[in-house]
Amino acid sequence: MSRRSTRGARARWSSVSTELATILAGAPPGVLSLAGGFPNPKTFPTTEIAEIVTRLMRDDPGVALQYTAPEGIPSVREYLRDRQEQLQGRRPELEELMVTSGGMECIALTCRGVLAPGDTVVVEAPTYLGALMAFEHAGLAVEGVPMDEDGLRVEVLAERLAAGLRPKLLYVIPDYQNPSGFTLSLERRRALVELCRRYDVLIFEDVAYREISFDGSSLPSLWSLGPDVVLQAGTFSKLLSPGVRLGWAAARTDVIARLASAKQLTDQCAGALGQRIVEEYGRAGLFERGIPASRELYASHWRALDTALRAHMPSGVTWSEPTGGFFSWMTVPMDTMDLRPAALEAGVMYVPGSLFGGPPNSLRLSFSLLDEDELETAVVRLSTLF
């Protein structure tokens, strides 16, 4: 992945956006999909949400069904500040945190409010498809830096910066990255914050999977290590439900002010109902119950996938071993884009790695949605192709 002309980037954006729409539409009948990064509906707390909504309709409709400030409902921001302190050891000032309509919106707000066409953005190669599409469509020059099992290769970024690269933003997913499953090591986290501080590069830390570790552990967030140089974007999509369309941004006051002003041009405010649901759910201590159960489910899915891969994949096929999240990254001896029709014929779907800016012989496997038996069947079908 390297700098692209705006016209080239737009053409790529349009074909990738068709791909994304296909992934979001789900699998055709009879096909097992390892493609989409969907949370498992078994993790949706339907009874709790139903009770909360009933209560809100009775006690608080004037807030829950009304417009609100672009930065979010004051009590919700207060809850999110408490949550940051509890989970990441640092309490943001009120002006350092706002509510967003999810992680993807925060990326879009950053393109509008912080960046300008022609700016350079550094990303991990490979990286999240939604971010790539947003950056390319915004007319930004996208520069990929390679990763290994310890995440972004910070020493490669350091070399490029020393050689004159001057990005405005670095987009990273430090925990159980989408699509690779890799996690940025503690040593590299510290080095990265230092490096970006030195070169005045704003780090966009996407923590979409941070709380979905298989064993409940976590490394310090980049935002907790360097609140002066980090914009953290979080989301409740994988912790509660994408249906609430809710997330947060934590950053310096000037960055939050720009995002809030950009939000006036998108949806003006995140849905108040989703905001109040998250606040009530969180204040009742229900994340402490729900998230460990989700971790267990995804860890068990990963074990089922890994066991099936070990049993059925021929030599020459390798895959990453995530310690959290939804994804494993596979390398095979052929072009995975060319192989897609044969895969569909065999009854299995995946996302070719080249769509994420990865090499043509890579692909992403998502293990969040299929049940454990289906994961094994999907792997058997996939193995017939190699």
Ligand X SMILES: Cc1ncc(COP(=O)(O)O)c(C=O)c1O
Contact positions toward ligand X, by CB under 6 A? 37, 102-104, 128, 130, 173, 178, 206, 208, 235, 237, 242, 247
The three-class DSSP label of residue 331 is strand
Which one, 104 or 375, has the nearer CB to ligand X?
104
The three state secondary structure string of 242-270 is HHHCCEEEECCHHHHHHHHHHHCCCCCCC
Segment (H or E) for 154: helix 154-162
The number of angstroms, rounded, from the C-alpha of 70 to the middle of its chain's C-alpha atoms is 22
Least Å distance, CB 238 to ligand X, is: 8
Angle at 127 between CA 344 and CA 319, to 5 degrees: 60
Least Å distance, CB 39 to ligand X, is: 9
Least Å distance, CB 247 to ligand X, is: 5
Which one, 103 or 324, has the nearer CB to ligand X?
103
Which one, 34 or 346, has the nearer CB to ligand X?
34
Residue whose entry in the numeric block shows the structure tokens 């003006």: 268
Which one, 210 or 258, has the nearer CB to ligand X?
210
In the complex, which residue's CB is closest to ligand X? 102
Which one, 339 or 349, has the nearer CB to ligand X?
349
The three-class DSSP label of residue 350 is coil
Least Å distance, CB 59 to ligand X, is: 28
Which of 149, 151, 132 is CA-nearest to residue 319? Answer: 149
Least Å distance, CB 320 to ligand X, is: 15
| Contact (Cβ atoms closer than 8 angstroms) between residue 329 and residue 179 | yes
Bridge partners of 152? 147
Residue 178 is classified by DSSP as: T
Least Å distance, CB 258 to ligand X, is: 19
Which one, 243 or 316, has the nearer CB to ligand X?
243
C-alpha dist (Å) from residue 360 to 131, 152, 375, 384: 20, 20, 24, 19
The three-class DSSP label of residue 114 is coil
Which one, 128 or 339, has the nearer CB to ligand X?
128
Residue 204 — φ and ψ, nearest 5°? -95, 105
Which one, 76 or 339, has the nearer CB to ligand X?
76
Least Å distance, CB 203 to ligand X, is: 15
Least Å distance, CB 275 to ligand X, is: 14
The two three-digit tokens of residue 315, written as one number: 């030599």
